[in-house]
Chain A
Amino acid sequence: MNHPLSVARPCAALARSPLSVAIVALVATFAIATDASAQSAAQRAVDAAKPLCAGGKTITIVWEAGLQSLDPLNFSGPEWEKQTGCKVKVVEVPTAEMFTKIMQEFRAGTGAYDALNVIPAWMPDLAGAGALEPLDALVDKYGYRAELQKIAPTYRDNQMTVNGKIYGFPDDGDVFVMYYRKDIFARDDLKKAFKAKTGHELAVPKTWKQFDETAAFLTEALKKDGIYGAAFFREPPYTMYMFQERFRNEGGKFFDAGMKATVNNDIGVRVFNEMRAENKFMPPGVEKFGFVENLATFLKGQSAMTISWPPYGRFAAGYLANEKALDWVPKSTIAGKVGYAVPPGGHPQLAAGFALSVASTSKQKEAAYLFIQWLNSEDISMKRVQLPYALRDPFRDSHFTSKEYLAKWPDAKDYLAALKAGSQTGLLDLSLIQTDKYEEALRQGISRLWAGEDSKKILDDVAKQWDATTNQIGLDKQKAVYGAWAAKSGAYPK
C-alpha cells in the first residue's frame, strides 16, 4: 500500500501558487481519508496497539472455560502478540461463574481483568453497576462503526447497547437450530405410514403441533431400531431458553402493561404441559439430558430431530472430527444425513451468546479495546468462526456467505442458511435488572415440571417470584428496563 503522503511529492513544483496549494491539500486530505477507510478495522487496531504494547504489555481477558477458550489460547492470543507485542492472558471461567467473577472483580476494583466476554442478557446489570466501559468514544476514535453495522441485524440491534450506549460487540451467533435426519424423512415406508395415519405428508415440522405429531409417529415407527422421534436437552438451564422461545412463538408475553408477570397465563401452562408430554416420545431419562447427552444421542443416530446451538451442526457433519480438542465429541454416524431448519414457530431463541466488552476497572482500557475490536473485526472474526475447535458461531453477514465456509462440507450452505435465517428472526433472551433472579425462578419451575408437579401451580409460583423480584428492584425502574428490552426488534415475534 502506498503511503498517502507520497501523493504530495509530484505536486511539489506546483506548490507556489495559492490555488495549487489548495488543490494539493485537498488531494492529500482525500488520499489520507481514502487510505484510512481502505484500511481494515483489524489493521487499524493492530497499528494503534503497537505503540501501546511497547514494552510487552499483557491484556487479561475473561473467557468461557473449555472449548471456547481455545480460540484465544491457540489462535487469537498468539496472533495478537505476534502482530502487536501485547501478550494475552486468558482467565478461563465456567459460564455459571462468569457473572459472579466479573462482578466480584469489579467490586474489588483490582483491575485484574481488561477485557471480558459477557452474555448479552447480563449487560443491563453489568452496565448498570458500572462494570463495563462505554465504548462509543473508542469506536469512533478507531473508526469501527462501519464494520459494526455489518454484524447480522438481530445481534447488532439487540445485543450491543444499553440505554443507547455501546457496551459490547456481539461476537457469537448463538441461535437455536433444528437438526433433523434427512434420510429418515425421505424414507418411503415412513412417508406412506405417516400419510395413512395423519392424512398429511411427512415433512419437517414448522409448528409445535406438527412437531409433536411427527416425533410421536417416528418414535412409534423406529423405536424398535433404537431411534426416537426426537430428543432435547432437558436440564433446566437449557430448557429455560427453549421455554422462553416457545412461549413467545405461541404468542406469550412475559409481563403486562403494568409489569405484572404473565408467564402463568394459558399459553405458559399449555407450553409447560406440552413440554412434559413430549418427554414420553423421547429417550427414557431425557429429563436429565444436558448438552453432551443430547449431542451423543443425535450423533449416534438415536434421535431423528433435535434442537440446539450451531456447533451440533458442525459436529454432526464430522467437520474436522480428527481435531484433538474434539476428542470428547462422539464420532458422528450421521454425517451427510443431517438437515438444518429454523425450529418450530419460526423465531429461534438467541440463547446466551457472547459479546466482547472492556472492564471499567481495567488500567489499560485502550489496549483492551483495540484487542476486542481486532477480535470482532470482519477479517479476524471470519477466521475465528471457522476454527474447528472453538465454539464461536457465525454472526456477521459476511460469515454466512463466506465461500471458504460454504465449502467446509457438502451441506454447509444449508447450515449457514439456517443460521442466517435465525439471525434475521431470532428472539432475545429476557434481559432485565437482575435477570438471573427471573431465570432462576424459571429454572426451578422447570425442575418441578419434570418432578411431576402441576403446571399451573408451578407457573403461578414463578409469576409470584417474578413480581416479588420486580417490586424489590423497584416497579418503575424495572418497567423502564423491560420497556427498552421489549422495544427491541428481537424481543417478541413481529
Chain B
Amino acid sequence: MRLSSRDRRFSLSLVAPSIFLLLLVGVFPLVYLLVVSFQGITMTELDTSFQGLRNFRMLFDDERLWQSLLHTVIFTAIALPLELVLGLAMAQLFIDKLPGRPVFVALLVLPVVVSPIVAGATWSLMFDQRFGPINEVISWMLGGETTILWTIKPDLVYPAILLAEIWQWTPFMFLLLLAALSAVDKSQLEAAAIDGAGWWRTFFRIVLPAIWPVMAIAILIRALDLFRLFDIVWALTKGGPGTMTETISIFAYVKGFQQFETSYTAAVALMIIVLLSVVVMAALKRVELTR
C-alpha cells in the first residue's frame, strides 16, 4: 500500500523524536569528539583552532599511552582465559542437580553484583599489610609475622589485581555458561554415552559447539569489559608503581580529567573506538553472529 504524502509526514513526525534522540546521544558525541580531537583545547587554553593531525601524531610518540595499552592487553590476555576456564569448570560442577544448588549459585554470583570500585576497595583491605587477612594467613602458615606489600612490589601487583578481577568476574562467566550448558540437548549426550564417547570427546564434539554462541558472547562482553578495566586497578594501585599497572582507561582519565588535555584525550578516545570497533567486528565475523 502506498502512503499518501500526508500519512508519510505523519509517520515521519512519529519517528522523528526517536531519531533525534538517537542522533543526540549516539552520533553527536562522536562527531563532537572528532572535532575536539583536531583542536588544541587544554586546561589553560580554549584553543578551538584547527590543529591538523597534531594530536594524532602525538599518539605515536607517547610511550606511556602504548605502555598502558600493553598493560590492558596483558590483563585481558591473562584474566579472560582464566575466567572462562574457571567459569566453565564451575558451571560443569553445578550442571547436575545438587542439594542447595540455587543457594550456592546465588552465593557464587554475589561478587558480580558488587560495584567494581567497592570490590577494589575490599581487596585493598584484604591485601593490607597490617590488618589484611591475606597477610595474616600467610604469616600464620609461615609461623611468623610477614609483611607482603601486594600493591607496591612490582612482582606482586599484577597477581593482586588479577586475583581481584578474576574473583569478581568469573561468576559472570559461570552464570552464562551454566545457562548455556543447561540448554544442551540431553538426547545427544545420551546417544554419545551409548556410543561409548569419552568425556573429552563428548565435550568437544557436542557440548562446546552447542554452547559456543553463548560462550562467544560471554567472551566478547568480558573482553570489552577488561579493555576498559579501571575501578579495581584504581582502587588497588592507581596505576602504580609508577605507571606499571596503568590501563588505557586510567591513562585516558588522568589525561582528560586530571591534566585537562582535552583535545589529546579526544584523540586517544577516538583511537580506542576505532581499535575496539575493528576487534569487535572481526570477532563477530569470526563467530558468525553478524547474520
Contact = CB atoms under 8 A, between A and B. Distances in A.
A103 B262 CA distance: 12
Interface in B15-56: 43-44, 46
A285 B136 CA distance: 13
Chain B interface SS verdict (over half): loop
Contacts of A293: 130
Interface in B64-107: none
A288 B152 contact: yes
Contacts of A287: 149, 152
Given A103-B43, A288-B128, A434-B44, A448 B242 contact: yes
A394 interface: no
B44 A125 contact: yes
Contact of B152 (A100, A103, A125, A451): A451
A94 interface: no
B44 A452 contact: no
A263 to B, nearest CB: 15
Interface string A430-459: 000110110010001101101111000010
Interface residues of B, number: 23
B145 A288 contact: no
B256 to A, nearest CB: 10
Contacts of A125: 43-44
A458 B244 CA distance: 13
Chain A interface SS verdict (over half): helix
A445 B258 contact: no
B111 interface: no
Contacts of A437: 259
A451 B44 contact: no
A128 B129 contact: no
Contacts of B153: 451-452
A272 to B, nearest CB: 14
Contacts of B244: 451
Interface string A255-291: 0000000000000000000000000000011011000
Contacts of B145: 284
Interface string B128-145: 111000000000000001
B241 A440 contact: no
Contacts of A440: 254, 258-259
B151 to A, nearest CB: 7
A436 B152 contact: no
Contacts of B243: 444
A290 to B, nearest CB: 11
Interface in A270-320: 284-285, 287-288, 293
B126 to A, nearest CB: 13
Contacts of B154: 451-452
A287 B149 CA distance: 8
A348 interface: no
Nearest to A101: B257
A448 B260 CA distance: 25
Given A436-B259, A448-B242, A129 B43 contact: yes
A444 B43 contact: no
Contacts of B43: 103, 125, 129, 434
B242 A103 contact: no
Nearest to B264: A472
Nearest to B258: A436
Pick from A287, A433, A447 the residue with the most CB of B within 10 Å: A447
B257 A450 contact: no
B44 A448 contact: no
A236 B154 CA distance: 16
Interface in B257-282: 257-260
Interface in B224-244: 240-244
A129 B44 contact: yes
Contact of B240 (A103, A128, A284, A447): A447
Nearest to B154: A451
A434 B259 contact: yes
Contact of B44 (A433, A447, A450): A433
Interface in A441-488: 444-445, 447-448, 450-453, 458
A100 B153 CA distance: 30
A235 to B, nearest CB: 10
B242 A451 contact: yes
B147 interface: yes
Interface of A: 99-100, 103, 107, 125, 128-129, 236, 284-285, 287-288, 293, 433-434, 436-437, 440, 444-445, 447-448, 450-453, 458
Given A287-B149, A437-B259, A440-B259, 4 more contacts: A100-B258, A285-B149, A448-B242, A451-B240
14 contacts: A284-B147, A285-B147, A433-B44, A436-B259, A440-B259, A447-B242, A448-B241, A450-B152, A451-B152, A451-B153, A451-B242, A451-B244, A452-B154, A453-B242
